[in-house]
Amino acid sequence: MPIFSRTVFFLSAVCALQGSPATSREIKYGSEVTMHGRLVSSWRFGPPGFGETPKTDPKVRFVFLQLNDPVNVGPAQAVPKDDSDIEAHNNVKVIRLWCMDNVECEAVVKHLPVCPVSVSGKLHAEVAPLDFLPVTMDVDEVKVEHCAK
């Protein structure tokens, strides 16, 4: 294969693996959305010190949604400049879920990471240390999809 053909083939393969930002789903903060993926949990230090004093800081279980397909998240049209939902984030693959007060969400956590889920709610930008990620979701509903467990 000539060098030009190998270069074109290589660049095509790299583009295919990386995906194109133009093909990512665009979502505005605050809008109702349903996203698909797998639940992942992690134990992390919580308040008051978030690990600065590991002997006394409690570990808390946090739940995240590992998305099937990355998304681009941005501000709604008329957002004040001092609003936390002003910053855009591209190629978001994991979202911090705020749902542990939701009995339905707690019940679904037992399926992680085995079963695919759909999660509905509103997206927001991180505002507090407990958010851990740039994009969070206030969860309204979690559904287990086609679980072979």
User: What domains can be seen in the chain, in order of their start residue?
Assistant: 25-144 (2.40.50)
**Nearest of 118, 96, 113 to residue 149 by alpha carbon:** 113
Q: Which of 3-12, 73-82, 97-106 has the highest mean pLDDT?
A: 73-82
Say yes or no to pLDDT of 99 above 80.
Answer: no
Q: How far apart are CA 73 and CA 89, in angstroms?
A: 5
pTM of the model: 0.71
The string of pLDDT tens digits covering residues 51-87 is 888 888 888 778 889 999 999 998 877 766 766 667 7
Query: Where does the pLDDT of residue 4 fall: very low under 50, low under 70, confident under 90, or very high at 90 and above?
Result: very low
Q: Is 20's pLDDT higher than 60?
A: no
